[in-house]
Structure 1
Amino acid sequence: MTMETLPKVLEVDEKSPEAKDLLPSQTASSLCISSRSESVWTTTPRSNWEIYRKPIVIMSVGGAILLFGVVITCLAYTLKLSDKSLSILKMVGPGFLSLGLMMLVCGLVWVPIIKKKQKHRQKSNFLRSLKSFFLTR
């Protein structure tokens, strides 16, 4: 008797593939709002800190990691340590150097991109105001 009711319970709980297609997907793209989805036509003014916060943080963290890598690499070549510690420091130091340099350069490249984007946004706002001025007459 319980064997007969068990398959019926499973059939009720299962959803058809068509019903699964109708449900909204909960992917990362639908849960996180991207900065790219921001409209070009928004007129809310943003402070410089809001605009340049991410590149500044990336450059700061990259600079700190770069300095940490420099210190570790210098210690590896100046201190007399055991062979095991020396080999580990000689591998880890340049790794931090390259990671820090990469993050620092990414932040430095990001700043002109943001400036160009802001200039384009200002130009778009100007053209929009001109268009609305001439079309309302």
Structure 2
Amino acid sequence: MEALPQALEVDEKSPESRDLLPSQTASSLCTSSRSESVWTTTPRNNWEIYNKPIVIMSVGGAIFLLGVAVTCLAYKLDLGKKGSEALKMMGPAFLSLGLMMLVCGLVWVPIIKKKQKQRQKSVFFQNLKSFFLNR
């Protein structure tokens, strides 16, 4: 076997070893990952779970009602040809946008409920698995 070069024996490191990250960093890279929430689950209240769908449904309902009002005004008021045409185009646009957001929020709620059930089952099976493996 060949002897190591004198330069490496004198505590001089190669340029490749200087570029490597220390081993501590490998564990800190995983701390910001999404999988951490599975291991450190803290109980959340209903507002924290359902706040986004509630906000989407509220905004969608408001836009839908604005569309209803604009559409009604477009057919009741006589604002001239250009004003009436603009309102007749904006009213249905607000109606469709508001209805779309309202339906998205309504569909989001059962999806969140299903994910909560799956998460509870996952935590249960993780606890069961750790119980049997740590014996």
**Structure 2 length normalisation: TM-score?**
0.71
Alignment partners' CA distance in 1, 2:88 and 2:34? 44
Percent identity, aligned pairs only, is 75
What letter corresponds to residue 49 of structure 2 in structure 1? I
Secondary structure of 1:37's aligned partner? coil
Please list every run of 5 or more consecutive structure 1 residues that lacks an aligned counterpart in the other structure: 1-35
Alignment equivalent of 2:104, drawn from 103, 106, 110: 106
Q: Tell me which moved more, 73-82 or 56-65.
A: 73-82
Alignment equivalent of 2:126, drawn from 121, 128, 137: 128
Alignment partners' CA distance in 2, 1:102 and 1:134? 48
Alignment partners' CA distance in 2, 1:40 and 1:120? 12
Deviation at 1:42, TM superposition (A): 3.0
Please list every run of 5 or more consecutive structure 2 residues that lacks an aligned counterpart in the other structure: 1-32
Deviation at 1:122, TM superposition (A): 0.3
Q: Is the radius of gyration larger for structure 1 or structure 2?
A: 2
What is the match of residue 46 of structure 2?
Answer: 48
Alignment partners' CA distance in 2, 1:136 and 1:83? 79
* More contact order relative to length (CA 8 Å, sep ≥ 6): 1
Contact 1:69 1:93 in 2 (8 A): yes
Deviation at 1:135, TM superposition (A): 1.5
What letter corresponds to residue 37 of structure 1 in structure 2? R
Alignment partners' CA distance in 1, 2:116 and 2:100? 25
What is the match of residue 19 of structure 1?
Answer: none
Alignment equivalent of 1:37, drawn from 25, 34, 39: 34
Alignment partners' CA distance in 1, 2:82 and 2:52? 38
Runs (4+) of structure 1 exceeding 4 A deviation are none
